[in-house]
Amino acid sequence: MYHNILSTLSTALVFAAVPLAAGQNYLTITSPMANDVLSVGSPWQIEWDTNIGGQVLLYLNSRSTNSTTLLDCGMIEVPINNIGQMRWDVAENSTFDGGKWLCDNWSSSPDAVIFHIIILSLDDRQKHYSPPFKIQHQAV
């Protein structure tokens, strides 16, 4: 029994210590982080670690706190160079085209909606999701 546990543990440690293979792409969104609260009317620096070149698209998705279904809110920015950061002027309207956000729950109470940023790499067509965060709307 102990031999099996040690064997499994040593195998796991070997795999954990192996660096990413050459050519293996990664992209990790580091800001916003889980439970961050962004404010409409204030800029936010979206940041990500990556070894993927080329360009990326940034989208905003949302879901109700009691649901797992993601709703497309729209594009945050047209294709940009994948430099690992972008300043987002969080606004009531889409910063991409000035139109309304597409998700019906955009204006809901911050406690009722969770948002995610999705970064799509145009090189490998992979989607990368941010941790969940909230958006605080201005008082009316």
Domain ranges of the chain: 25-136
Q: Which CATH number fits domain 25-136: 2.130.10.10, 2.40.50.140, 3.10.290.10, 2.60.40.10?
A: 2.60.40.10
Cis amide bond preceding 110, omega within 30? no
Instruction: Give the mean pLDDT of 10-34.
Output: 62
Above 90 in pLDDT, residue 130?
A: yes
Q: Is 113 exposed, middle or buried (0-12, 13-18, 19+ CB in 10 A)?
A: buried
Instruction: Give the mean pLDDT of 65-89.
Output: 92
d(CA 132, CA 89): 18
In 3D space, the residue among 71, 41, 64 whose CA is nearest the CA of residue 139 turns out to be 41
pLDDT score recorded for residue 137: 84
pLDDT score recorded for residue 139: 62
pLDDT band at 14 (very low <50, low <70, confident <90, very high): very low
Cα angle 28, 32, 36; round to 5: 140
Instruction: Give the mean pLDDT of 24-32.
Output: 88
Residue of 96 and 17 predicted with greater confidence: 96
Helix or strand run (H / E) with residue 17: helix 2-17
Beta-bridge mates of residue 66: none
